[in-house]
Amino acid sequence: MTSKLSEQQKRQLYRDGYVIIRNAVAPELIEAAKARIKRAQKGENLGTCEEMTDLVNASSLTPIIHDVMGQFDPVSACHVAVRKKAQPGEYFGPMGYRDKDLPYYGAELHIEGSVTMAPPQEVQQGTPDEIYARHFASGPNGDVGRSADVVGINMGSLFQDPEMTLSLGTITAFAFVSLHDQTIEGCGQTGIIPGAHHAVTDFFRWQRAQNGCIGPEGPGWPRLDHDTPNRCGMHYLPPKIREQYTDESSERSPDGKRWPKPMQVLLGPGDACVTVHAIPHAGTRNENGSESRKSIIFRLRNKKRQPNVVVTGGTDHPDRGPRSEWLEFEEGNNPWERSKDALCDPWSEWDGLQGIIAEEQAKSA
């Protein structure tokens, strides 16, 4: 197993926003993780089990990511993403469409770090303001108004900061590991839009330049879409980005809206994919698999952004606690502004790519 990416792989990571690493995790670690899932009790949280965290801590992924990104905390938590076989469903998803009506195996492409609420299963009545208030009062903290204390079912917060200028949690990288064969499309793979991270970064810079606000409810990015079938869909992507990646070949939902086509990441057992934070991505429906989709997802942040904060690997909002609790930071340390800096200049946190980034940016200039 290699401990470094090749130069070609590093260039792909910059250019396309992702890289696939074949056989990144040893077979014995994969089998141990699968066995732990098999003996799990109903409702048991496996995210902190050693069999899962070893997929990074005891594999080639640690030296590979150290080399390309920099130092990060050893992972102590992760997202154990198991998708059972399923056919298109009648239920409404967070984007306000029925599962069966979203193209590309129900892909709900999004940028990581947004709050998610339980999607209403009935068509919503009332004005947009009334729908907004009702929707965001449905979370674990109840009706606390439009504030940074609103928490979603994903434990993300409506806004990261008290001033409500940042509405995305931020990390540096994803690493996800497949525990089984995902080499046939429609088996629940992660879908991504290669290269779109560049457009997303440009959009963040534009938002910040307008009024200092980044993310949903910032310039050009409304939080809710009231033109969806249930009148309460999340704008998981800025409309400008969604439109940029659609054309005449894009599939449509029954209302005529075109949707970006994600590339499904095809992995075998022990293969891993590393991506940058800003890449639009989505889980997809497991229609064609011979078993449940089992991917283990890790969210990593370069240690230099907040040296005194331990990032477990399981959260996409490490400037807040795992349940969006408020953290204490030393005087003069504004975590929200540091995270905005990272959103607008993500390559500053990829220490091992600096030479390649300079070359590639010089070419494009």
We report the CATH number of the domain holding residue 318 as 2.60.120.620
pLDDT for res 257: 97
> What is the number of domains present in the chain?
1
Ordered per-residue pLDDT tens for the chain, 365 residues: 678 999 999 999 999 999 999 999 999 999 999 999 999 998 899 999 999 999 999 999 999 999 999 999 999 999 999 999 999 999 999 999 999 999 999 999 999 999 999 999 999 999 999 999 999 999 999 999 999 999 999 999 999 999 999 999 999 999 999 999 999 999 999 999 999 999 999 999 999 999 999 999 999 999 999 999 999 999 999 999 999 999 999 999 999 999 999 999 999 999 999 999 999 999 999 999 999 999 999 999 999 999 999 999 999 999 999 999 999 999 999 999 999 999 999 999 999 999 999 999 999 87
pLDDT for res 58: 98
Per the domain annotation, does 2 fall within a domain?
A: no
Say what the pTM is: 0.97
Per the domain annotation, does 14 fall within a domain?
A: yes
Per the domain annotation, does 103 fall within a domain?
A: yes
pLDDT for res 2: 78
pLDDT for res 3: 86
Q: In the chain, where do the E strands start and end?
A: 18-21, 79-83, 173-178, 190-192, 224-225, 233-234, 263-264, 272-276, 281-283, 293-300
- Cβ pair 168, 160 in contact under 8 A: yes
Per the domain annotation, does 1 fall within a domain?
A: no
- Expressed as residue numbers, the domain containing 76 is 7-364
End-to-end CA distance of the chain: 36
Per the domain annotation, does 119 fall within a domain?
A: yes
Q: Distance between CA atoms of 169 and 110, rounded to whole angstroms?
A: 13
pLDDT for res 38: 95
pLDDT for res 365: 79
Encode burial over 324-361: b for 16+ CB neighbours within 10 A, e otherwise. beeeeeeeeeebbebbbbbbbebbebbebbeebbeebe
pLDDT for res 364: 85
Q: Helix 354-364 crosses helix 7-16 at what angle (to 10 degrees)? A: 60
pLDDT for res 4: 95
How far CA 239 is from CA of 20, 74, 196, 232, in Å, comes to 29, 36, 13, 15
pLDDT for res 155: 96
Neighbours of 103 (CB within 10 A): 17
Per the domain annotation, does 218 fall within a domain?
A: yes
